[in-house]
Amino acid sequence: MRELINLQDYPLDRPGSPDWVTLVDNCKAKLAEDGLFNLAGFINADALPEAVAELKPVLETQSFTHSRKHNIYFQKEIEGLPADHPALTEYETSNRTICADQMGQAAVIRLYEWPPFAKFLASVMDKSVLFTMQDPLARVNVMGYHEGQALNWHFDRSEFTTTLLLQAPEVGGEFEYDQDLRSADDPNYAGVADLLEGHRSPKRIVLEPGTLNIFKGKNTAHRVTPVKGDQDRIIAVFSFYERPGVEFSEQERIGFYGRAA
């Protein structure tokens, strides 16, 4: 992994060492304060072009275009909200997706299956252990966004997401979020409506290629702004769970990837 990962700054290969403990503690602090943390330069600069190049042909020829209209909840209706409530405003999300079974032993697959990676994430998230996903399609996805495509406002289903930006677009493709906009006890529909109507000012971050991002998005509204220009935004998404053997249903696979197997 030394050729791929910047293990000098991010010593994931030395769990329990003083430097590893410091890294974990710093990430925990950032996560508690900001709801996310970024490890810029996580992928070595000289390894990044090859990591992208081995995925581009698959994205160009074998990807599934996932395009749909949705509200921020990905639900057709919310109990207690009228259909015309501004919190239920619909937007369009569109990207091209390739799945783990299309990537062979690409760099993103090798990283995902490297045990110290899951151990590090589990420690940062205060989990006793995290497991890679068993699903042959969903375990690792790579998304490509070209001109006009975007990931629109939503809340995540999972507690946290782990992504690796592989290529940034010329313009756009920026990550915006409104931290802790809701909670388990308060859906804050008025605040959600204010965000969608432009009455709140979400935070915005621009990531550099090679950056690892861990983000708690279950109660934080977030989106990726539309991409502009000829260069795609390419990002890998890694799925980890607290129990082994997790797989999507056939219906979920078809919805996300256009195929069940």
Residues 142, 145: Cα–Cα separation, whole Å = 10
Structure token digits, residue 246: 């997790």
Question: Quick one: what percent of the chain has pLDDT higher than 90?
Answer: 99
The arithmetic mean of pLDDT across residues 11-33, rounded, is 97
The arithmetic mean of pLDDT across residues 175-200, rounded, is 97
The β-bridge partners of 70 are 91
pLDDT tens digits, one per residue of 77-101: 999 999 999 999 999 999 999 999 9
Q: Given this model, what pLDDT does residue 140 score?
A: 98
Q: Is 90 helix (H, G, I), strand (E, B) or coil?
A: coil
Residues 166, 74: Cα–Cα separation, whole Å = 27
Q: Given this model, what pLDDT does residue 153 score?
A: 97
Q: Give the CA dihedral 216, 222, 227, 232, nearest 10 degrees.
A: 20
Number of helices and strands in the chain (H, E): 7, 15
Scan for tokens 């045990």, then name that residue. 115
Please report, for the chain, the start and end positions of each structural domain, with discontinuous segments joined by +: 18-257
**Cα 137 to the chain's mean position, in Å?**
16
The arithmetic mean of pLDDT across residues 114-140, rounded, is 97
The β-bridge partners of 172 are 227
Confidence of residue 138 (pLDDT cuts 50, 70, 90): very high
Q: Given this model, what pLDDT does residue 137 score?
A: 98
Mean model confidence pLDDT for the chain: 97
Q: Given this model, what pLDDT does residue 243 score?
A: 96
Question: Quick one: what percent of the chain has pLDDT higher than 70?
Answer: 100
Confidence of residue 54 (pLDDT cuts 50, 70, 90): very high
Closest CA to 172 of 230, 88, 98, 254: 230
pTM: 0.95
Confidence of residue 235 (pLDDT cuts 50, 70, 90): very high
Residues 261, 243: Cα–Cα separation, whole Å = 22
Residues 105, 238: Cα–Cα separation, whole Å = 15
**Cα 227 to the chain's mean position, in Å?**
16
Give, in order, the Cα–Cα distances in Å from 201 to each of 151, 178, 195: 18, 8, 7
Pairing of the two strands 161-167 and 212-215: antiparallel
Q: For 66, phi and psi rounded to 5 degrees?
A: -100, 110
Residue 55, phi-psi category: left (phi > 0), alpha (psi -120 to 50), beta (remainder): alpha
Asked whether the beta carbons of 6 and 41 are under 8 A apart, the reply is yes
Asked whether the beta carbons of 97 and 66 are under 8 A apart, the reply is yes
* CATH topology (fold) of 18-257: Jelly Rolls (2.60.120)
Percentages helix, strand, coil for the chain, rounded to the nearest 5?
25, 25, 50
The arithmetic mean of pLDDT across residues 65-70, rounded, is 94
Count of residues in the chain? 261
